[in-house]
Amino acid sequence: MNNIKEDAALAQTDENLFDYKAHRHAVKRATTEPGWARALLIVVTCAFMTLFLLFPLVCVFFEAFADGFVGFRNALTTKATFNAVRMTLIATCIAVPLNLVFGLIASWCIGKFQFYGKELLISLIDIPFAISPIIVGLLFVFLFGSTSMLGQWLAEHHIRVLYATPAIVIVTIFVTFPFVVRELIPVMESQGSEEEQAARVLGANGLQIFWRITLPNVKWALLYGVILCNARAMGEFGAAVVVARNSVKTNTLPLHINALYQSYESGAAPFAVATLLATIAIITLVAKTLLELKIRSSEKNEEN
């Protein structure tokens, strides 16, 4: 402010005819990068993304059809592929709804209430992000294996957890656990609980408050979290590979792709199956982008 006043004063004196346009231009030049630097940065970024992200993705689709369309179709219609899709769907269909419900409950209590140990709980939620999936897998092998008490008890009652569907489901839940909570906590925190209080005063019961006030207010963030959670659940490899032990029965899609690839004779088959996951990834990206736009516009609405 002062600078502008001084400049104006300078401009008025006769000796110091001040060129305002040039001045403003100089300020702009001082605060932005020169044109060539900007161009360079953009080129580098785009080249990097093309080389490391886009090119491999295109390669997957290209390789998938290396044996022609028939080869592609054959790879997708084997019993093993069918089993893998089934296993992935089972794990996802259990893990995502469970984490959705858990995410809602956890973010509700973290976002709307103050209690002792809240910070610790928030850190604990991040454990699956922090630990390598392989370790997660080993952890569950140790927990359910024949050496542990739980493992012995399960064996006595003829319940198979390890190297079977339950283990795949459990590790998927574990690994995808933070996605929904992480998305919801900031939204819940920023909205506070005044609307819920208003609803309560107006005579609504807890269930009505949840369905009609809380849930609609977080729906976009919730959907966003679910999409991320879903993508991760379908793509999970590291933890699953430890607890599934590579049998055709318990292979999920990523495990199946790995098995096909390791067998060397299958040619284009692993890439053909990989297109399934790649397609899911692309759908996820598009949905995510659309949701981000939606969330941004609804936030803008609230600010006004």
The residues of the shown chain that bind another protein, judged by CB under 8 A, are 194-195, 197-205, 208, 212-213, 216-217, 301-304
Q: Which of 102, 296, 250, 263 is nearest to 185 (CA)?
A: 102
Q: What is the largest CA-CA distance in the chain?
A: 100
Nearer to another protein, 15 or 302 (CB): 302
**Residue (194 or 265) nearer to another protein, CB:** 194
* Euclidean distance between CA atoms 211 and 194, whole angstroms: 16
Q: How far apart (Å, rounded) are the C-alpha atoms in residues 173 and 94?
A: 8
126 vs 195, which CB is nearer to another protein? 195
Rounded least distance, CB 253 to another protein, Å: 37
Distance (Å, rounded) from C-alpha 284 to C-alpha 268? 25
Least separation, in Å, of the C-beta of 187 and another protein?
Answer: 12
Closer residue to another protein in complex, CB, 175/291:
291
**SS3 (DSSP) at 304:** coil
Alpha-carbon distance of 232 to 131, in angstroms, equals 15
Long-range contacts of 286-292 (CB under 8 A, 24+ apart): 287/227, 288/224, 288/227, 288/228, 291/220, 291/223, 291/224, 291/227, 292/224
- The nearest distance, CB 211 to another protein, in angstroms, is 10
Strand ranges in the chain using DSSP code E only, listed in sequence order: none
Query: What is the smallest separation between the CB atom of 104 and another protein, expressed in angstroms?
Result: 17
- Both tokens of 14, joined, read 């006769």
21 or 300: whose CB is closer to another protein? Answer: 300
Pick between residue 149 and residue 201 the one whose CB is nearest to another protein: 201
The distance of closest approach from Cβ of residue 296 to another protein in the complex, given in angstroms and rounded to an integer, is: 14
Shortest reach from residue 215's CB to another protein, in Å: 10
Q: Cβ of 89: how many Cβ atoms within 10 Å?
A: 14
Query: What is the C-alpha to C-alpha distance for residues 266 and 272, in angstroms, rounded to an integer?
Result: 10
Closer of 132 and 298 to another protein (Cβ):
298
User: Minimum distance between the CB of residue 97 and another protein, rounded to whole angstroms?
Assistant: 23
Is residue 132 classed as helix, strand or coil in its secondary structure?
A: coil
Query: Could you count the other beta carbons within 10 Å of the beta carbon of residue 204?
Result: 16
The residue among 88, 63, 85 whose CA lies nearest residue 76 is 85
Q: Which residue lies nearer to another protein by CB, 57 or 204?
A: 204
Q: How far is the CB of 199 from another protein (least distance, A)?
A: 7
What are the tokens at 282? 């692309």
CA terminus-to-terminus distance, the chain: 28
